[in-house]
Structure 1
Amino acid sequence: MSRARAPEPIAEEDALAPRRNPDLTGHEDAERLLLDAWNSGRLPHAWLIGGPPGIGKATLAFRFARFVLSQGHEPPDAGLFGAPPPPASLALSPDAPVFRRVASGGHADLLTVERQRDEKRDRLKRDIAVDDVRKIGPFLRKTAAEGGWRVAVIDGADRMNLSGLNAILKILEEPPPGALLLLVSDNPGGMLPTIRSRCRKLTLQPLPEETVLNLLSQHRPDLGGEDRAALARLAEGSIGRAIGLAEAGGLDLYRELIGLLGTLPRLDITAAHAFGDKLTRKQDDGLYETATDLLVWWLARFVRSLARGAWPAEVVAGEAALMTRLANARGLERWVEVWEKVQRHFARAESANLDRKQVVLNALATLEAAAT
């Protein structure tokens, strides 16, 4: 997540893509840490940027990559008499040549590695190809084409297999001079300890709900205020998730799902079959993935809230009453088992390519059995 091509105008619909996004909101402390590391003259050669999906990790990585590529070979010597003041921001104008070359994938000193698209299934592949990872070492060892730094960004670093991780470890053990490696990961804890120990770690936190709401107002002004508020709550601090759900029709699916669960403890079988038909009418429209993700998310939210002894603010009306009814039917331990069982059920079904409608019906039946 390298595609070298001539610079092109930045399309408005691509403005939120991390390599093209000039803005980053809510991570000022992380930006300051990166800037201070640069200005110190002792920039670590590798950073592991972690945190939940969709909160701006890759946007920050490309923001820093653009900054470094625009600065020349060495960080400024802030202590040198007469030297220009050190940079005070990572921001680069979208009109700057470096920005536009990075945005178009045409900067000779930047290599981006990410999951590629499976053309047959029209979705991203599960893992980053090891051959793509192995390009990083030779790339970073080359002399910079523009006389500055060589930068590699691995977007989705936790998606590397063991061979890919070992290839990265070799780079970290003997980092080339003038090279910067930025690893972006939703799950840094799942990476090899030897990799984590050789990187400077930077963990980003979920965005405040109000920030997500403001960003939705900016990027999706077509949405009504009630829908924006519901999406901001569903997103749990992830603007990427909020926008993704908006584009996938996730809010309508969630409302339908809560309405269906609201018929528990006696599930409305007719409605359940209609819901399953809707999700599986087409294999490539993403409704099945969105709905199953929302069901697992809701169960996790319910379990966490039950453990705390307080219900969260409702995304849609009726959730609190539903949670109360289910909590009265079974205790925390049983609902934790249900949550874990449904997660495993969806994971096994996907790997075994089982009938998706039946998978959904079986998951709903598991909830019904626990609620009865």
Structure 2
Amino acid sequence: MSTEDQAWPEPRASSLLVGQETAEATFLAACRSGKLPHAWLIAGPPGIGKASFAYRIARYALNGSIEGPAQDAGPSLFGDALPSSEGDSLTVDPDSIVFRQVAAGSHPDLLSVERGINERTKKERSEIVVEDARRVAGFLHKTASGSGWRVVVIDSVDEMNRNAANAILKILEEPPANALLLLVSHSPGRLLPTIRSRCRLLRLSPLGEADMDRLLAHYLPEETGENRLLLTRLSEGSIGGALALHAAGGMALYRDLVGLLAGLPDLEARKLHAFAGRFERAGNEDAFQTAMALLADWIARLARAKGLGQLPQPILAEEEPALRRLASLHSLDRWLELWEKVRHLTARTDAINLDRKQVVIGAFLALQGTG
């Protein structure tokens, strides 16, 4: 493995691909078919490597590995399966000029479209605006300097506002020759149907436990197998999510949450106040967000299991007795209501400066049935 992969890299600098071999074979088969769609919608849950995969394709194209012109996918191709291939790879040598230029964001034939900086506030925008999208047309109509291809990566297309989406749609309807557009999407169902219909869907899957363990052992070599399994299950196959959880102290937070949840419907006030009190201090905003997200996910797992008429699957062995008991504590509607309440409280806490300790206590009292 190259030095670029010795820490969690930016997507454009990542050379390690694990668990997405089917998607890779699909793209390679399209390359060999001589009818490569000009636009690809790379879809799947957050944190599974979609942006890294997009830049992997970009390097492959810019390295001169694709022969022949791109083709308009057309509405009838959306979601169609392509034949798979074996024995090939999109890998580009990490020591090559193309790899280094893409990693540095300096390749002249690559344009990355992301949320920009608001010149007035000097802060990152909450969406991709039309000015960002309009750069794409001018870029794609220029003459390529290297491989003959010009590549655009939009990360993520979900973040485009309507004007930006319409600007991209015009390009998808009449793409220039040898243009390759790679649209990263966490929620393709929310996109304009006309955008979806102009792209070849390439769906990436959450990573399995074996692939997650391999990646976590690579990026977090100091962690035990037990901790790697806990991160895998908490992140539901998202390597990005697992590494973010690790950085935020998510494993310890989850174990403490389980300790409190295991007592429901009884709550030990001293332990609850001690747990909630840690989020009062300045600088603990991220820990608060992580803890509340873990609590919401725990409720969601219980609600899903109840809706299916099943017993919830524990992530930690010590959860099982409590989960069996709590499954009958509330109705499905009540669990869904609690999930919404926790998410709503979390979103509003910083927006209107709520007391984080009281928000956590209120969430647990609601779970108990007294809040």
Which bin holds the TM-score, normalised by the shorter protein?
Answer: 0.7 to 0.9
Conserved in 2, the CA contact under 8 Å of 1:39 and 1:75? no
Shift of 1:14: 4.9
Conserved in 2, the CA contact under 8 Å of 1:279 and 1:357? yes
In structure 1, runs of 5+ residues without a counterpart are 1-8, 77-86
What is the CA deviation profile of residues 282-310 of structure 1, one whole-angstrom value per residue up to 9, with x for unaligned ones? 24651122111111111111111222333
1:29 aligned onto 2:46: no
Shift of 1:147: 5.0
Match for residue 181 of structure 2?
181
- Give the 3-state SS of the residue equivalent to 1:286 in structure 2: helix
Conserved in 1, the CA contact under 8 Å of 2:292 and 2:342? no
Match for residue 269 of structure 2?
269
Conserved in 1, the CA contact under 8 Å of 2:311 and 2:327? no
Judging changes above 3 Å, is the alpha-carbon distance between structure 1 residues 205 and 367 closer, same or farther for their aligned structure 2 residues? Answer: same
Residues 253-264 of structure 1: pairs in structure 2 closer than 5 A: 253-264=253-264
Conserved in 1, the CA contact under 8 Å of 2:7 and 2:219? no
Distance 1:122 1:261 in 2: 42
Shift of 1:245: 1.0
Conserved in 1, the CA contact under 8 Å of 2:6 and 2:218? no
RMSD of aligned residue pairs (Cα, Å) = 2.8
TM-score norm. by structure 2 comes to 0.87
Distance 2:246 2:123 in 1: 18
- Which amino acid letter does the alignment assign opposite residue 269 of structure 1? A
Distance 1:17 1:139 in 2: 23
Distance 1:125 1:356 in 2: 26
Match for residue 103 of structure 1?
103
Distance 2:366 2:155 in 1: 36
Match for residue 82 of structure 2?
none
Distance 2:29 2:323 in 1: 47
Judging changes above 3 Å, is the alpha-carbon distance between structure 1 residues 285 and 363 closer, same or farther for their aligned structure 2 residues? Answer: closer
Shift of 1:181: 0.8
Judging changes above 3 Å, is the alpha-carbon distance between structure 1 residues 343 and 96 closer, same or farther for their aligned structure 2 residues? Answer: same
- Single out whichever of 348-357 and 268-277 deviates more from structure 2: 348-357
Match for residue 298 of structure 1?
298
- Which amino acid letter does the alignment assign opposite residue 113 of structure 2? V
Shift of 1:164: 1.7
Residues 1-372 of structure 1: pairs in structure 2 closer than 5 A: 14-71=7-64, 74-75=67-68, 88-116=88-116, 125-146=125-146, 148-283=148-283, 286-369=286-369
- Single out whichever of 229-238 and 10-19 deviates more from structure 2: 10-19
- Which amino acid letter does the alignment assign opposite residue 115 of structure 2? R
- Single out whichever of 287-296 and 304-313 deviates more from structure 2: 304-313
- Give the 3-state SS of the residue equivalent to 1:181 in structure 2: strand
Shift of 1:20: 0.9
Conserved in 2, the CA contact under 8 Å of 1:257 and 1:295? yes
Shift of 1:159: 1.4
Conserved in 2, the CA contact under 8 Å of 1:35 and 1:90? yes
- Give the 3-state SS of the residue equivalent to 2:12 in structure 1: coil
Conserved in 1, the CA contact under 8 Å of 2:4 and 2:13? no
- Give the 3-state SS of the residue equivalent to 1:153 in structure 2: strand
- Which amino acid letter does the alignment assign opposite residue 170 of structure 2? K
- Give the 3-state SS of the residue equivalent to 1:328 in structure 2: coil
**Number of corresponding residues:** 354
- Give the 3-state SS of the residue equivalent to 2:152 in structure 1: strand
Judging changes above 3 Å, is the alpha-carbon distance between structure 1 residues 134 and 156 closer, same or farther for their aligned structure 2 residues? Answer: same
- Which amino acid letter does the alignment assign opposite residue 357 of structure 2? K
Conserved in 2, the CA contact under 8 Å of 1:101 and 1:107? yes
In structure 2, runs of 5+ residues without a counterpart are 70-86
Match for residue 83 of structure 2?
none
Judging changes above 3 Å, is the alpha-carbon distance between structure 1 residues 131 and 15 closer, same or farther for their aligned structure 2 residues? Answer: same
Shift of 1:229: 1.4
Identity of aligned residues (%): 49
Distance 2:358 2:185 in 1: 33
What is the CA deviation profile of residues 149-171 of structure 1, one whole-angstrom value per residue up to 9, with x for unaligned ones? 11110112211121221221121
Match for residue 84 of structure 1?
none
Distance 2:43 2:353 in 1: 31
